[in-house]
Structure 1
Amino acid sequence: MKLSGPGAPTCPAQAAHAAAPAGDIASHLATLDQLRAAGEIGDEEYRVRRTKILDRL
């Protein structure tokens, strides 16, 4: 994400709410699936985290 120059968010809130690249989303979802498969997170935590990741689209 560009933090300065033309096209950069004008405030930190805009930077925080900028859409994440699709590859980043896919990577986070894959990691989340691995954590659930390994039993490191439960189904409820999986659903909550997955929703947060998808909300970035």
Structure 2
Amino acid sequence: MTEDPAKADPAADDASAEPDWKRRARLDAVFGGDEPDPEAPRTGGHGADWYRSNRPPHHS
């Protein structure tokens, strides 16, 4: 007799019953909220002049 793997795993039933918005809210409570936009420029808020003037000597 072969068991259905989806029914054998109790976590699979819980995950399918939980709405996506509720799952996201639970994960955000543990790991933090919004993720940064991967398409946004990663300058850290400083311009190129700041980076040039603050470059360590071993990178010159």
Same fold (TM > 0.5):
no
Q: Which bin holds the TM-score, normalised by the shorter protein?
A: under 0.3
Flag the structure with higher helix content.
Answer: 1
**RCO greater where, 1 or 2, for CA within 8 Å and sep 6 or more?**
1
- TM-score relative to the length of structure 1: 0.27
